[in-house]
């Protein structure tokens, strides 16, 4: 498994396993979560993507029990996020869903994440969403100080546009190391709207959430695309899902897909896409089929 160096200190596995859907699984026992971690580790997938809000603020705790029992923390990089307050779980009294990127909230959220996951530090902390009410000076200072305190090794953002990224970065000493955004064959605006270009200009890798469009890629209304993925997967002797991920890996922007299946069988096959070197013509055939027209 290739590794992507996001900083001098931290590298991530090229394919990342995300735990947004952890509590959708029928089995949320720590032994089952440990099996998922083992299935990842067998393929050298060492990076786990979490967020305080996942599972109604409960997914980090479920992972934490597994980390404690398995002792796998030192084999993994833990990414987590903060900044969204939704009226569920520990915030169920909140009268409204909102974003909070204040110093107080970020500190509290990080303390919760550390405690719930039974870990001493977070490898990479991301602000989950751009906050329309953000005070960039306060938020930037807070992220810098969390790194200085050793609670967080690196910081980044998620769902930020280039202007949000630049604004926050302009108030910080530490470099933001990545942006996690939605990218898949059918969520492909970032290839031309400047989101990827901005990160490439900054020489920064990007994390892709829902790289299979949350499974929608395989819905029957995408028949032309599915047929094409099947055709190409036959040539490469692999699966349509592996081709969909290989399509992201083939792009020069160092995209790190964050995959979210709950199936142990599918987790065990996550790294298959890394063996595929998708050719440029196939890349464009897939892109044009997804757009429904040729490039001009």
**Residue ranges that bind ligand NAP, judged by CB under 6 A:** 18-21, 49, 128, 158-159, 180, 209-215, 218, 241, 258-263, 266
Q: How far is the CB of 287 from ligand NAP (least distance, A)?
A: 17
164 vs 281 by CB, closer to ligand NAP: 164
Q: How far is the CB of 116 from ligand NAP (least distance, A)?
A: 16
For the chain, helix, strand, coil in percent to 5 are 45, 15, 35
Can you tell me whether residue 110 is helix, strand or coil? helix
DSSP structure class, residue 213: G
137 vs 191 by CB, closer to ligand NAP: 191
145 vs 251 by CB, closer to ligand NAP: 251
Q: How many residues does the chain have?
A: 296
Q: How many CB atoms lie within 10 A of CB 13?
A: 24
Q: How far is the CB of 294 from ligand NAP (least distance, A)?
A: 26
Can you tell me whether residue 295 is helix, strand or coil? coil
Is-contact 132 162, C-beta < 8 A? no
Q: How many CB atoms lie within 10 A of CB 120?
A: 9
190 vs 213 by CB, closer to ligand NAP: 213
- Tell me, rounded to whole angstroms, the distance of Cα 161 from its chain centroid: 16
Quote the CA–CA distance of 205 and 234 in Å, as a whole number: 30
Is-contact 246 184, C-beta < 8 A? no
140 vs 257 by CB, closer to ligand NAP: 257
Which is nearest to 132 in space by CA: 160, 91, 96? Answer: 160
Quote the CA–CA distance of 249 and 278 in Å, as a whole number: 9
Catalytic residue of the set 54, 57, 99, 236: 54
Return the residue nearest ligand NAP (CB atom): 260
- And the tokens for 140? 């930037």
Q: How far is the CB of 16 from ligand NAP (least distance, A)?
A: 8
Quote the CA–CA distance of 196 and 256 in Å, as a whole number: 12
Q: Is 236 a catalytic residue?
A: no
169 vs 262 by CB, closer to ligand NAP: 262
Quote the CA–CA distance of 185 and 29 in Å, as a whole number: 33
Q: How far is the CB of 148 from ligand NAP (least distance, A)?
A: 25
Q: How far is the CB of 37 from ligand NAP (least distance, A)?
A: 14
Q: Which residues are designated catalytic?
A: 54
């Amino acid at each position: 498994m290739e590794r992507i160096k996001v900083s001098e200190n931290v590298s991530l596995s090229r394919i990342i396993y995300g735990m947004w859907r952890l509590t959708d699984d029928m089995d949320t026992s720590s032994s089952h979560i440990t099996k998922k971690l083992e299935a990842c580790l067998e393929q050298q997938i060492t990076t786990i993507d979490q967020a305080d809000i996942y599972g109604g603020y409960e997914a980090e705790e479920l992972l934490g029990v597994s980390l404690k029992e398995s002792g796998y923390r030192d084999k993994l990089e833990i990414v987590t996020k903060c900044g969204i307050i939704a009226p569920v779980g520990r915030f169920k009294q909140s009268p409204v869903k909102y974003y909070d990127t204040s110093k107080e909230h970020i500190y509290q959220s990080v303390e919760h994440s550390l405690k719930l996951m039974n870990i001493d530090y977070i490898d990479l902390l991301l602000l989950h969403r751009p906050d329309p009410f953000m005070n960039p000076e306060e938020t930037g200072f807070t992220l810098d100080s969390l790194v200085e305190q050793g609670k967080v090794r690196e910081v980044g953002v998620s769902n930020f546009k280039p202007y949000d990224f630049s604004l926050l970065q302009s108030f910080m000493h530490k470099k933001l190391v990545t942006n996690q955004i939605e990218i898949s064959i059918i969520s492909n605006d970032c290839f031309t709207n400047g989101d990827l270009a901005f990160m490439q200009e900054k020489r920064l890798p990007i994390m892709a959430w829902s790289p299979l469009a949350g499974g929608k890629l395989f819905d029957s209304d995408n028949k032309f695309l599915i047929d094409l993925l099947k055709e190409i997967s036959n040539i490469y002797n692999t699966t349509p899902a592996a081709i969909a991920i290989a399509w992201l890996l083939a792009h020069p922007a160092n995209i790190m897909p964050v995959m979210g299946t709950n199936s142990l069988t599918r987790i065990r096959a996550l790294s298959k896409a890394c063996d595929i070197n998708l050719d440029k013509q196939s890349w464009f055939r897939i892109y044009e089929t997804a757009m429904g027209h040729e490039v001009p």
